[in-house]
């Protein structure tokens, strides 16, 4: 552990032997922060907060703390407070320093809270308070216990004095205030959204603890409080918001099995997609793992057994598959175990094999019991799964039919398609145009060599509720799939795409926006690779035509474009302004000049985020729930006028 003299940081105060040990203890953290907190970007910055709050949450899990508060303070400071036992103040016989100082200056100190219980929460790297201290330009810890309040301060991890008693106190708890070191981090900007999301999640996973968040950086301050008596049951209910729940009661179990705590909630909703969140020791495992495997086999087994016993499945019927069970299923799986084994750099998967039988057995037993007590919910669940099984078979049959019909070889291109003559996909474009009249203008105005036109009628179809089989039965969608020439969903093959620019061209009005949202959703759900490849675009037709004598110009935006142009043109005379209500109002030449000609036009490339947003908007506009739609329309009343509210 010997260090070269040159490696000592400059401008540090003189320190005694003990401090040199401390300095060397944390030196590697400042040298290679990424090794300890993942990155020095925005993720790493937030990681500091998680490390400190995890310690408070551990204290709460042990049953010692009831309240945890996170505060954002001016000057990029963060304060975390808990009302637990307070870090022990007493001087340790061997190290000769207070346990407080050890926790904050020795790497990995404070990791295990005594041998018997497991450290329950734990950030990505579980490295603790000393790492946060090392990466903070300043940190202060205040501990209340043993009748007093004690404090110590540090700079870049180096104590600026001993632990001192600063007041009498009859309370207990720990408070840590820190300022991340701007020399280490590329950004100092905390995200309220991120912090709130994390604290909310931790509150679900730590039943009965109240987690407060206060933003004191500006006046007036804002404060939030998260407290969920229902644990992951509340979490599942949160995930189901805006969707119609099929059950009267959310299924919930919370049981220990061979020293592993298993907490699971599930609810079926009227939706096709599923949400499955899994956690081990409060750490999210997006890639699942043994607990998820156990969960899935339990529901498959229990629901099949139940369906047979209750006569929903006959002897000759095949079993319902795990895939069928997932449709519309919202579930949260949380396990807590000693010494969890994770796989992958980011602990994305739980590897501990013992988690599997634990979850399997707890869910098997709990779900069987639930179905017996809630036959109504049992019936709804089985009906939903049976529907999914039926749809899966129908979708497969429909897909096979479409594929057999030659979507891939392009022999049966739709009659409505005015194809381009070029066969080179790199230079070919297809315009998906709303309505037959605009389609007519686009057909006459286009460059026939490289531009194809596909007019689509009306509002196609509600893709949200439509399953793949129904969608492919729809003639408009089928034309689109066949024209693109690369099949759909799982069968999609990017290399077969016939046009490297797929351009959505709709009117600049509410209906146009509606159809655009619909198409974006369709592409997002069934052609995500096409978006990823950067092949999807939105045409930008002009909003206004401005004319003074022979000077004709087009404006694409209301404020910046139009205002500027009008000011310029007014010098020459009276400006006639006409607003384009639809593509159909332009003659073929105008449409070519303003919107289709690669020399003049503006195309907006669609990125995954745009499509995701459309997908979300789509749910709001087309989903079953009227309330969020009403809310959306009221808050966006200026932009959205013609949408039916039923």
Count Cβ atoms within 10 A of the Cβ of residue 547 and give its class: 0-12 exposed, 13-18 middle, 19 or more buried.
middle
For the CB of residue 146, give the shortest distance to ligand 28G in the complex, in Å.
Answer: 10
Q: Which of 43, 146, 509, 568 is catalytic?
A: 509
Buried b (16+ CB within 10 A) or exposed e, 423-442: eebeebbbbbbbbeebbbbb
Chain contacts with ligand 28G (rule: CB under 6 A): 52, 55-56, 59, 80-82, 84-85, 87-88, 99, 103, 110, 113-114, 174-176
Catalytic status, residue 563 = no
Catalytic status, residue 491 = no
- Residue 44 or residue 86: which is nearer to ligand 28G going by CB? 86
- Residue 174 or residue 302: which is nearer to ligand 28G going by CB? 174
Asked whether the beta carbons of 355 and 280 are under 8 A apart, the reply is yes
For the CB of residue 1, give the shortest distance to ligand 28G in the complex, in Å.
Answer: 23
Separation between Cα atoms, residue 133 and residue 283, nearest integer Å: 22
Catalytic status, residue 624 = no
Catalytic status, residue 116 = no
- Residue 109 or residue 348: which is nearer to ligand 28G going by CB? 109
Q: Which of 51, 507, 593, 619 is catalytic?
A: 507
- Residue 4 or residue 94: which is nearer to ligand 28G going by CB? 94
Separation between Cα atoms, residue 554 and residue 591, nearest integer Å: 11
Chain length of the chain: 646
Positive or negative: CA dihedral 427, 430, 431, 436: positive
Separation between Cα atoms, residue 461 and residue 478, nearest integer Å: 12
Positive or negative: CA dihedral 342, 343, 348, 353: negative
For the CB of residue 175, give the shortest distance to ligand 28G in the complex, in Å.
Answer: 5
- Residue 174 or residue 237: which is nearer to ligand 28G going by CB? 174
For the CB of residue 331, give the shortest distance to ligand 28G in the complex, in Å.
Answer: 31
Separation between Cα atoms, residue 32 and residue 28, nearest integer Å: 6
Separation between Cα atoms, residue 325 and residue 248, nearest integer Å: 18
- Residue 156 or residue 175: which is nearer to ligand 28G going by CB? 175
Element (H, E) at 36: helix 33-37
Token readout for 358 is 């634990």
For the CB of residue 57, give the shortest distance to ligand 28G in the complex, in Å.
Answer: 9
Separation between Cα atoms, residue 87 and residue 97, nearest integer Å: 13
For the CB of residue 256, give the shortest distance to ligand 28G in the complex, in Å.
Answer: 23
266: helix, strand or coil: strand
Q: Which of 24, 365, 491, 511 is catalytic?
A: 511
Separation between Cα atoms, residue 460 and residue 474, nearest integer Å: 8
- Residue 132 or residue 606: which is nearer to ligand 28G going by CB? 132
98 contacts: CB under 8 Å, gap ≥ 6:
88, 89, 90, 91, 92, 150, 152, 162, 163
**Residue written as tokens 């309330």?**
627
Q: Which of 434, 469, 476, 615 is catalytic?
A: 434
Q: Are strands 136-145 and 148-155 parallel, antiparallel or unpaired?
A: antiparallel
For the CB of residue 17, give the shortest distance to ligand 28G in the complex, in Å.
Answer: 23
Separation between Cα atoms, residue 372 and residue 368, nearest integer Å: 6
Residues with a known catalytic role? 434, 507, 509, 511
């Amino acid at each position: 552990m010997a260090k070269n003299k040159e490696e000592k940081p400059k401008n540090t105060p003189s320190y005694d032997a003990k401090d040199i040990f401390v300095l060397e203890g944390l030196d590697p953290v400042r040298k290679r922060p990424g090794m300890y907190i993942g990155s020095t970007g925005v993720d790493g910055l937030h990681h500091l907060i998680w490390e400190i709050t995890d310690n408070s949450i551990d204290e709460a899990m042990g049953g010692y703390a009831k309240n945890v508060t996170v505060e954002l303070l001016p000057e990029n400071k963060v304060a975390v407070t808990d009302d637990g036992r307070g870090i022990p103040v007493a001087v340790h016989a061997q190290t000769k320093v207070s346990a407080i100082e050890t926790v904050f200056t020795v790497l990995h100190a404070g990791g295990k809270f005594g041998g018997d219980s497991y450290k329950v929460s734990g950030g990505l790297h579980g490295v603790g308070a000393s790492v946060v201290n090392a990466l903070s330009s300043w940190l202060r810890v205040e501990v209340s216990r043993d009748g007093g309040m004690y404090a110590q301060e540090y700079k870049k991890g180096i104590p600026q004095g001993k632990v001192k008693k600063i007041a009498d106190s009859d309370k207990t708890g720990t408070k840590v205030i820190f300022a991340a070191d701007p020399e280490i981090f590329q950004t100092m900007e905390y995200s309220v959204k991120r912090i709130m999301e994390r604290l909310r999640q931790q509150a679900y996973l730590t039943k009965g603890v109240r987690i407060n968040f206060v933003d004191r950086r500006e006046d007036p301050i804002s404060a939030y409080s998260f407290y969920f008596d229902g644990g992951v049951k509340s979490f599942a209910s949160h995930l189901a918001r805006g969707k119609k729940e099929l059950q009267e009661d959310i299924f919930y179990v919370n049981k220990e099995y061979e020293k592993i705590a298993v907490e699971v909630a599930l609810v079926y909703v009227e939706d096709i997609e599923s949400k499955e969140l899994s956690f081990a020791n409060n750490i999210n495992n997006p890639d699942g793992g043994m607990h998820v495997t156990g969960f899935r086999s339990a529901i498959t087994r229990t629901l099949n057994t139940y369906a047979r016993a209750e006569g929903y499945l006959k002897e000759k019927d095949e079993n319902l598959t795990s895939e069928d069970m997932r449709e519309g299923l919202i579930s949260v799986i949380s396990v807590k175990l000693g010494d969890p084994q994770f796989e992958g750099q980011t602990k994305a998967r739980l590897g501990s094999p013992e988690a599997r039988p634990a979850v399997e057995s707890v869910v098997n037993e709990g779900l069987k019991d639930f179905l017996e007590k809630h036959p109504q919910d049992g019936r709804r669940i089985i009906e939903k799964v049976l529907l999914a099984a039926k749809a899966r078979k129908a979708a497969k049959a429909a897909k096979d039919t479409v594929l057999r019909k030659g979507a891939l070889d392009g022999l049966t291109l739709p009659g409505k398609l005015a194809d381009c003559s070029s066969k080179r996909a790199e230079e070919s474009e297809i315009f998906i145009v709303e309505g037959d009249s605009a389609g007519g203008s686009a057909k006459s105005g286009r460059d026939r060599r490289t531009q194809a036109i596909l007019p689509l009628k009306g509002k196609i179809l509600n893709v949200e509720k439509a399953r793949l089989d129904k969608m492919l039965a729809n003639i408009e969608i089928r034309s689109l799939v066949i024209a693109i020439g690369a099949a759909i969903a799982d069968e999609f093959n990017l290399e077969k795409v016939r046009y490297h620019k797929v351009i959505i061209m709709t009117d600049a009005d509410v209906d146009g926006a509606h159809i655009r949202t619909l198409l974006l959703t369709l592409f997002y759900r069934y052609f995500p690779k096409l978006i990823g490849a950067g092949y999807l675009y939105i045409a930008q037709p002009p909003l206004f035509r401005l004319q003074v004598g022979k000077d004709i110009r087009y404006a694409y935006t209301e404020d910046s474009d139009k205002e500027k142009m009008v000011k310029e043109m007014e010098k020459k005379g009276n400006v006639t302004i006409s607003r384009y209500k639809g593509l159909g109002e332009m003659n073929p030449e105008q449409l070519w000049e303003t919107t289709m000609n690669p020399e003049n036009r503006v195309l907006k490339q669609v990125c995954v985020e745009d499509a995701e947003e459309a997908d979300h908007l789509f749910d709001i506009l087309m989903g079953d729930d009227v309330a969020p739609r009403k809310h959306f329309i009221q808050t966006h009343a200026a932009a959205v006028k013609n949408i039916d509210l039923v």
